[in-house]
Amino acid sequence: MRLTRRGLLIGAGAGGGLLLAFRLVPRHYASPLVARDGADAGERVFDSFIRLARNGDVSVAVPFCEMGQGIATLAAQIVAVEMGADWKRVGVEPAPVSPVYGDAVLAARWARLWLPLAPSLADRPGDVLARLHAEREPLQITAEGTALAAFEAPLRDAAAAVRAVLAQAAAAQWGVGWETLDARGHAVTDGKRQIAFEKLIPAAAGFDPPDPPVLRPEPPREKPGAFPEGARPAFPRLDLPPKVDGSFVFAGDVRLPGMVHAAIAMGPQGDSVLASYDRKAAADIKGLVGVVRAKRWLAAAGTTWHAADKALKAMDPRFKAAGRIADSSALETRIDTALHKGTPRRILAEGDPDALLARPSLDVRYDVEPGTHAPLETATCTARLEEGRLELWLATQAPELARRAAARAAGVALRDVVLYPLHAGGSFDARLDVRIASQAAAIAKAIGRPVQLMWSRWQESLGSYPRTPVSAQLSAAMSPDKQRLLGWRARLALPATAIEWGTRLLGETSMPRAKAAAQGKPDPMACEGALPLYGIPEKAVDHIPVDLPLPTGRLRGGAHGYTAFIVESFVDECAHFAGAEPLSFRVGMLSGQPRLVACLQGVARMAMWGGGADASGQGIACWKLDLEASEGPRSGFIAVVATARQDNGAIRVDQLSAYADIGRIVNVDIARQQIEGGLLFGLAHAIGGSTAYASGLPLAARLSQLGLPLLADCPKVDVAFADSTEQPFDPGELGMVATAPAIANALFSATGARLRRLPLLSEGF
């Protein structure tokens, strides 16, 4: 495609210009960015990603939800490096919803969810169907760590094009070829003289960028050895200063003229509807503005949130079952029955291990309880409906789907809904749920005033969809001399949870309909990771679909959050059965996986691995995550060693060491933060982070009831990275998945007790 001045450089006041989307099929869209201050301000908008002010300040449009993972800083850093911009003069802004930001990598990753009859037609980002789906929706969703794979290239292209037209403007003044010039420190230079960007911006509008853009020889890269722990980062996080001084705006900080506050009561988990409430009981509560009821919830609006919450409690809303209600005893019975009597559906296999496993060497069961998100910030949305125009202030991972849900609730056209994306105070995929947008819109419509709806901690725990419970039967066949693992079968009993939450999210349908659509279907995405990477001659994964009354959702790590625990714990059992040292046992089965072997060896050196001998308290685990990108597959690798012990009936983790290979690292400081955060998130779900349900109500609803680690419980954490030039891989989910099995294996070494249930304390240890 031809990149011209008309398509790439949109001047002030030319917001209606047409834009040719980078790396997508050649279709034209209205520019998603417009000059903010009019023609006299001299602002220029470059493509869909870069806004250049007259004074030279750079603003990068970020089409992702910043949830603390640092992706906004990474996007700005990519642009700054490619442009040669001064980091102190680079900022970020949320990108509007637009087809230009459609994520073809995520569309391919989720092809099974939106194209279930023929996912192979769209399971690569370069497939036409994947690109069309990403644009048409538009699929602008933050999930699965696809941001770098999907957007590093267009960010670099846009920045390179800006650098080129600035260089051409400077070359015209100096009478030299622009190709001989470079840009650094926010200026174009020939090595001896320089011109600041701001002096070149007006003239740059008269030049066309080269087609294709001329990129720098090397993409953004930081070598791990140059940034040891505690070193000053070259590109510090942009969101850190306002978070420190309190000026950072979260969803709960939004204030509008005439705004009221709303509290909400939702029914028990499962299929429940509002049955009754006493409206008169709230009549005398000071500050009450109004009451809004819906089929599945009741809300009160007040001059303060506390007034609204007080009125809501006074009305004592009662709910009744319209279908099945979640109850842990019934959940466990259903899963247990399915595991023993259900019909397994083979979904993944290399060979056929069934004959070998007629009399398995090992045959054990693993169980995983429902996992909770428990973000620090509860769901919050501010809505204003005036003259047929609906505005939303919301932290969401799926802004377009939130707009659609709100439009339906308010009864307005989608084109009349404007969403202002905000950063989230944590999410772990909880903000893939867009129900709060529809709730806030409905309340604003009924009350006739701007409203801020905030879920209480109880409602966050009650209403959020947890990660699915799982039971798995693991079988292994060893060679007669116990030296080789010949056969492996993992049989998992769980709902078709990925189909369920995918249908609910992408199909924009209700929870009961999504559950009905998923009922009885085999779900490969729900069992990802259960087929081990190890070189086992015969191995297979069977899914036994279970219909549960508990609706489920995606949690950080996806299926790998439980399959890694199951697989790596069972591998450790096989090593013990063989009388083998756990590290060498793994390495012996990892032929053709040099990057993962290097991670195992690296973490062994870091943690001074002693072989996991009895009473050592050391356990090891490793894992690999894959992502299909436009240029081919990308992979992230990690190995974790945990040192743990039993202490007065509690689990104490003294140290977590991790060695990761995430390819080329854009920002070492942020990568380390992500691995460290993942390790602690994994620790939280190893010892807590779960709840049981009684009559649809969570038994652990407060943060203090979830068994989450306190600061005093946090272990010493060491993280190291491979110095790699492979394509970069997002580390956000990598650290989380390998932590629980490493801790479980450490506890076996320390105590001789094999814990096969998550959380580990749920076995009464």
The verdict on residue 134 lying in a domain is: no
Q: How far apart are CA 618 and CA 610, in angstroms?
A: 8
Nearest to 385 by CA among 362, 418, 415, 352: 418
SS (H, E, C) 14-79: CCCCEEECCCCCCCEEECCCCCCCCHHHCCEEECCCEEECCCCCEEEEECCCCCCCCHHHHHHHHH
CATH of the domain at 407: 3.30.365.10
Q: Are residues 587 and 519 in the same domain?
A: yes
Report whether 539 contacts 474 (CB < 8 A): no
Residue 45, pLDDT score: 79
Does a structural domain hold residue 350? yes
pLDDT of residue 43: 76
Q: What's the pLDDT score for residue 46?
A: 77
Please report the pLDDT score of residue 762 as a whole number.
Answer: 67
Angle 223-229-232 from CA coordinates, rounded to 5°: 75
Predicted pLDDT at 9: 37
Distances (CA, A) of 181 to 55, 79, 202, 220, 257: 21, 18, 19, 19, 51
Element (H, E) at 539: strand 538-545
Name the one residue in this structure whose structure tokens are 């640092």: 70
Q: How far apart are CA 469 and CA 562, in angstroms?
A: 9
Nearest-angstrom CA–CA distance, 195 and 84: 13
Last residue of a domain, one of 433, 463, 493: 463
| Neighbouring-strand partners of residue 384 | 391
Q: What is the pLDDT of residue 23?
A: 40
Residue 253, C-beta contacts closer than 8 angstroms, at least 6 positions apart:
none
| Alpha carbon distance 496, 500 (integer Å) | 6
Q: How far apart are CA 135 and CA 140, in angstroms?
A: 9
pLDDT at position 25 is 43
Helix pair angle (497-506, 511-518), 10° resolution: 140
Q: What is the pLDDT of residue 34?
A: 79
| Domain that residue 546 falls in | 328-372+466-763
Give yes or no: residues 604 and 672 share one domain: yes
Q: Does a structural domain hold residue 122? A: no
Report d(CA 88, CA 186) in Å as an integer: 10
Same structural domain, 564 and 543: yes
Task: Evaluate whether 183 touches 83 at the Cβ level (below 8 Å).
Answer: yes
Is 664 within the bounds of a domain?
yes
The residues, ordered by sequence, that sit 6+ positions from 215 with a Cβ below 8 Å of its Cβ are 82, 156, 157, 160
**536-575, pLDDT tens digit by residue?**
999 999 999 999 999 999 999 999 999 999 999 999 999 9
Which has the closest alpha carbon to 22: 150, 145, 210? 150
Task: Find, among 507, 506, 497, the residue nearest to 561 by Cα.
Answer: 497
On whether the CB atoms of residues 593 and 533 are closer than 8 A, the answer is: yes
Same domain for 288 and 347, yes or no, is no
DSSP string for residues in 278-293: -GGGGTT-TTEEEEEE
Pairing of strands 485-494, 538-545: parallel
> Which tokens belong to 178?
């622009």
Same domain assignment for residues 45 and 164: yes
Q: Is the same domain home to 62 and 10? A: yes
With beta carbons less than 8 A apart as the criterion, state whether 755 and 765 touch. Answer: yes
Decide: 708 and 462 in contact? Cβ < 8 Å. Answer: no
Q: What's the pLDDT score for residue 763?
A: 63
262 and 197 fall within a common domain: no
For residue 4, the model assigns a pLDDT of 39
List, in order, residues 6 or more apart from 536 with CB less than 8 Å away.
350, 485, 486, 487, 488, 589
Q: How far apart are CA 740 and CA 714, in angstroms?
A: 14
* Contact (CB, 8 A) for 744 and 688: no
- Interhelix angle 734-751/560-578, nearest 10 degrees: 30
Per-residue pLDDT, 31? 67
> What residues pair up with 656 in beta bridges, in sequence order?
642, 717
Type of residue found at 135:
E
Q: What is the pLDDT of residue 612?
A: 85
Question: What pLDDT sits at residue 24?
Answer: 39
pLDDT score recorded for residue 248: 93
Q: Are residues 457 and 597 in the same domain?
A: no
Please check whether residue 130 lies inside any domain of the structure: no
Do residues 62 and 79 lie in contact, with contact meaning Cβ atoms separated by under 8 Å? Answer: no
451 and 516 inside one domain: no
Based on the fold, state whether residues 150 and 179 are members of the same structural domain: yes
The whole-model pTM stands at 0.94
Judged by DSSP in three states, 330 sits in: helix
Give the orientation angle of helix 71-83 with respect to helix 147-174, to 10 degrees.
Answer: 30
Q: Tell me whether residue 721 is in a domain.
A: yes
Amino acid of residue 50? I
Strand partners, 265: 298
Nearest one of 387, 434, 431 to 408, comparing CA atoms: 434
Domain assignment present for 127: no
Q: Which residues of 280-302 are buried (b: 16+ CB within 10 A; e: fewer)?
A: eebeebebbbbbbbbebbbbbbb
Beta-strand pair 28-30/18-20: antiparallel
Burial of 149 (0-12, 13-18, 19+ CB in 10 A): buried
Q: Are 747 and 755 in contact (CB under 8 A)?
A: yes
Terminus-to-terminus CA distance in the chain, angstroms? 63
**Which residues in 555-667 belong to E strands, given as ranges?**
618-629, 632-647, 650-661
Predicted pLDDT of residue 32: 85
| Average pLDDT, 10 consecutive residues per value, the chain (765 residues) | 36 34 50 66 78 93 96 98 98 94 97 96 96 95 97 96 96 96 97 95 90 94 95 96 93 97 98 97 96 98 98 98 96 97 97 97 98 97 98 98 98 97 96 98 98 98 98 97 95 98 97 96 98 98 97 98 98 96 97 97 97 90 97 97 91 97 98 98 96 97 94 95 97 96 97 96 65
Count of domains in the chain? 3
Q: How far apart are CA 325 and CA 462, in angstroms?
A: 12
Which pLDDT score, from 0 to 100, does residue 613 have? 81
Angstrom distance (rounded) from CA 305 to CA 294: 19
Element of type H or E holding 92: strand 90-94
Task: Give the residue from 415, 440, 463 where a domain finishes.
Answer: 463
Based on the fold, state whether residues 84 and 160 are members of the same structural domain. Answer: yes
End of a domain among 463, 487, 506? 463
At residue 38, the pLDDT reads 54
Residues 355 and 295 in one domain: no
Whether residue 180 lies inside any domain: the answer is yes
Q: How far apart are CA 540 and CA 474, in angstroms?
A: 10
From the CA atom positions of the chain, what is the Rg in Å?
27
Residue 240 CA from chain centroid, whole number: 20
